[in-house]
Amino acid sequence: MTAPGGSERLAREGPFVKRADRIKAIPPYVFAELNKKVRAKREAGADVIDLGIGDPDSPTPDWVVERLAEAARDPSTHHYPPYEGDREFNAEFAAYYRRRFGVTLDPTREVYMVSGSKEGIAHLIWAFVDPGDFALIPDPAYPVYRTQTLLAGGIPFQMPLTRENGFVPDLARIPEDVARRATIMFLNFPGNPTASHVEKEFFKEAVAFAKKYDIALVHDAAYVEMTFDGYVAPSVLEVDGAKEIACEFYSMSKPFNMTGWRMGACVGNEEIVYKALGIIKTNTDSGHFVAAQKAGIEALRREPFAFFKKMNELYARRRDALVDGLRAAGWDVARPKGTFYVWLPVPPGYTSADFAMLVLEKANVVVVPGTAYGQFGEGYVRIALTVSEERLREAVRRMVSSVSV
For 316-347, give the DSSP string: HHHHHHHHHHHHHTT------SBSSEEEEEPP
Contact 109, 83 (CB under 8 A): no
* Numbers of helices and strands, H then E, in the chain: 14, 12
pLDDT truncated to tens, each residue of the chain (405 aa)? 445 554 455 445 555 578 888 888 787 766 677 778 888 889 999 999 999 989 999 999 999 999 999 999 999 999 999 999 999 999 999 999 999 999 999 999 999 999 999 999 999 999 999 999 999 999 999 999 999 999 999 999 999 999 999 999 999 999 999 999 999 999 999 999 999 999 999 999 999 999 999 999 999 999 999 999 999 999 999 999 999 999 999 999 999 999 999 999 999 999 999 999 999 999 999 999 999 999 999 999 998 999 999 999 999 999 999 999 999 999 999 999 999 999 999 999 999 999 999 999 999 999 999 999 999 999 999 999 999 999 999 999 999 999 877
pLDDT for 35 equals 76
Give the number of other Cβ atoms within 10 Å of residue 6's Cβ: 11
Domains present along the chain, CATH in parentheses: 20-59+306-402 (3.90.1150.10), 62-301 (3.40.640.10)
Gap between the Cα atoms of 359 and 356, Å rounded: 6
pLDDT for 1 equals 46
Gap between the Cα atoms of 366 and 352, Å rounded: 12
